Amino acid sequence: DMALKIENLKAEVEGKEILKGIDLTINSGEIHALMGPNGAGKSTLGEVLIGHPNYKITGGKILINGRDLTNATPEERARAGLFLAFQNPISISGVKISTFLRMAYNNLYPDEKMPLKEFFNMVKTVMKDVDMDESFISRSINDGFSGGERKRFEVLQMVILKPKIVILDEIDSGLDVDALKLVSAEIKKMHDQKVGFLIITHYQRILKDIIPEFVHVLKDGRIVMNGDNKVSDRIEDEGYDWIKE
């Protein structure tokens, strides 16, 4: 079992304080939704959790099973079980998807030495599940992906890299209804295997398929409400105005 614990987390970007003290715990097998109006700081929290270098943590802690990863590198966080969707296209553009996935997998599981053929069979199976064309695997990273392709690639990484805690930011944006169903099915499979999720979303769309046990509302860098899916249902009907800061 695993717990991602966020304690009084504060962060700034470009010298501006965005996160003003976030407390949140995500355990194995739990689905949490983080909702909130545009500009609330949802993506900032996602970026800070995965260790994006543009965001500066100015207070608080990020712990995984009690281990302090507040200042850890993205690689260290991934090895601790956190899912990091591939975020920095520029540094490795030109690398093929296949090479990238194999490298990422080997970095996480250096002792496993899965034969190449077996590895790519696994990749192809997941690609079928999320309805990606097989040719995608030999394309280069960042090679003009559409919004939908980028999201599917994120899900492909999520399934292949077998993380313990997954953070997904707006995974439902740019996906049509059918693609969203496939993505939701992959999330459910992993949830059945006791993976914990933080699903960051402005809209309630994905939360029709994936019912969160916990819903948190972020406003102006603070969590202003903790509840369950009754909260997300009400947000769908009434927006965010009824929730006070």
The pairing of beta strand 196-200 with beta strand 165-169: parallel
Of the candidates 62, 73, 69, the residue with the CA atom closest to the CA atom of residue 10: 62
43 belongs to the binding site for Mg ion (CB under 5 A) = yes
- Distance CA(155)–CA(186), nearest Å, equals 8
Q: Which does 78 bind (CB under 5 to 8 A by kind): ligand ADP, Mg ion, none?
A: none
- Distance CA(45)–CA(43), nearest Å, equals 5
51 belongs to the binding site for ligand ADP (CB under 6 A) = no
Contacts of residue 214, defined as CB under 8 A and 6 or more positions apart, other chains included, come to 30, 31, 32, 33, 226, 227, 228
What would the two tokens of residue 206 be?
Answer: 């994905």
Question: Nearer to ligand ADP by C-beta: 38 or 91?
Answer: 38
Among 5, 32, 42, 152, binds ligand ADP (CB under 6 A): 42
Helices 147-161 and 97-108 meet at what angle, rounded to 10?
Answer: 30
232 belongs to the binding site for Mg ion (CB under 5 A) = no
Of the candidates 23, 33, 20, the residue with the CA atom closest to the CA atom of residue 171: 33
- Distance CA(33)–CA(228), nearest Å, equals 9
18 belongs to the binding site for ligand ADP (CB under 6 A) = yes
Question: Nearer to ligand ADP by C-beta: 36 or 81?
Answer: 36
Of the candidate spans 37-45, 51-59, 135-143, 159-167, the one that interacts with Mg ion by CB under 5 A turns out to be: 37-45
Among 8, 39, 71, 131, binds ligand ADP (CB under 6 A): 39
Of the candidate spans 4-12, 34-42, 72-80, 99-107, the one that interacts with ligand ADP by CB under 6 A turns out to be: 34-42
184 belongs to the binding site for Mg ion (CB under 5 A) = no
201 belongs to the binding site for Mg ion (CB under 5 A) = no
82 belongs to the binding site for ligand ADP (CB under 6 A) = no
- Distance CA(208)–CA(15), nearest Å, equals 37
Output the DSSP codes for 184-242.
HHHHHHHHHTT-EEEEE-SSSGGGGTS--SEEEEEETTEEEEEE-HHHHHHHHHHTTTT
Among 24, 44, 154, 183, binds ligand ADP (CB under 6 A): 44
Q: Give the number of residues in contact with ligand ADP, rule: CB under 6 A.
A: 12
- Distance CA(243)–CA(25), nearest Å, equals 21
Question: Nearer to Mg ion by C-beta: 40 or 97?
Answer: 40
Of the candidate spans 4-12, 33-41, 130-138, 150-158, the one that interacts with ligand ADP by CB under 6 A turns out to be: 33-41
Question: Nearer to Mg ion by C-beta: 109 or 203?
Answer: 203
Among 1, 38, 90, 115, binds ligand ADP (CB under 6 A): 38
- Distance CA(222)–CA(236), nearest Å, equals 20
Q: By the criterion CB under 5 A, which residues form the site for Mg ion?
A: 38, 42-43
Q: By the criterion CB under 6 A, which residues form the site for ligand ADP?
A: 13-14, 18, 36, 38-44, 54
